[in-house]
A and B are shown apart, each in its own frame.
Chain A
């Protein structure tokens, strides 16, 4: 794809905004539509676009497969970890109210962490599946 100047330049301009939009969707999920699932997919789409335009080898240098696998497990761990922390603090599993003195603030922290876990797992899984499909039976350069 060395000769596709418009695609390369266009992708370079778009990718930062895609990643920023994903973060907006993530942290604005409390007030408007959006949340971890959508944000994770959009964040992954930024990297998938980079991989499509600049090649699988380049995107793997930016984001090694190992890091992606760790991400996909880390999100689930974070989600379940929040549940265990709430248990340790005297609540029931995933009862975020005990995370802060004011239960409402606790709910805020809990939802923030849990949505972050969803984002990390969805992002990791989407990119890892893309790597798995795109890298099959192909020589990496």
Chain B
């Protein structure tokens, strides 16, 4: 039964991946990518990795789909006709895939109880975390306590990613380039300028207000 579910999910994953490749409409491709994430989440549930499935469903199918849609709103939703022939990229991809498959021939059999991964620290975590940490979910124990350094690094990476995104997006469009939705960059600039002027006016209004408040405070004190 479990094998049947596995095969069904894998077939659906394959179909979704191919339809993403074939799809020229980027909106449809983004939606298919969300479905792909949801199917992967279902696959993780079948493999009893519920924490990973939860993350995949929330991040992959949820937030990243929204961010991709936000990107499409900026760049338009139809794919350009590729300028080059796909022979060389196809060759590179097939070669890389073949090397990766060759690499898997060395790894221990999937799900074997005698695999090294099951004899290193995993038995200790499973047997002792109940007494050492005292919480039932071993994943949380490992994530937050045994592997606290890693999780701190991950949190820092997420923060660093935000800094990178903000830096990249705060760079304005290059002068003279026309935005893909047909609107000239100058109009965007003018609008930005108008917005910033509005903001300055608001800020000035705020300071005036503050000084008024200070005056009243002084009055009441006096």
User: Chain A interface (Cβ within 8 Å of chain B)?
Assistant: 25, 29-35, 37-38, 41-42, 44-45, 48, 52, 72-73, 75-76, 79-80, 83, 93-94, 96, 103-105, 107-108, 110-111, 114-115, 117-118, 121-122, 124-126, 128-130, 132-134, 136-137, 139-140
Contacts and interface: CB of A to CB of B under 8 A. Distances in A.
B143 to A, nearest CB: 6
Contacts of A117: 155
User: For chain A, what secondary structure do more than half of its interface residues adopt (helix, strand, loop), or is it mixed?
Assistant: helix
A31 B137 CA distance: 5
B214 interface: no
A39 to B, nearest CB: 9
Contact size class for B?
Answer: 35 or more
A136 B62 contact: no
A104 B129 CA distance: 10
A41 B143 contact: no
Given A30-B140, A72-B158, A108-B134, 20 more contacts: A30-B136, A33-B50, A38-B58, A42-B62, A45-B62, A72-B159, A73-B159, A79-B155, A96-B145, A96-B148, A103-B132, A104-B132, A104-B133, A107-B132, A107-B145, A128-B165, A129-B67, A132-B165, A136-B169, A139-B191
Contact of B67 (A37, A83, A133): A133
A30 B143 CA distance: 11
B70 interface: yes
Nearest to B134: A104
Contacts of B152: 76, 79-80, 83, 94, 114
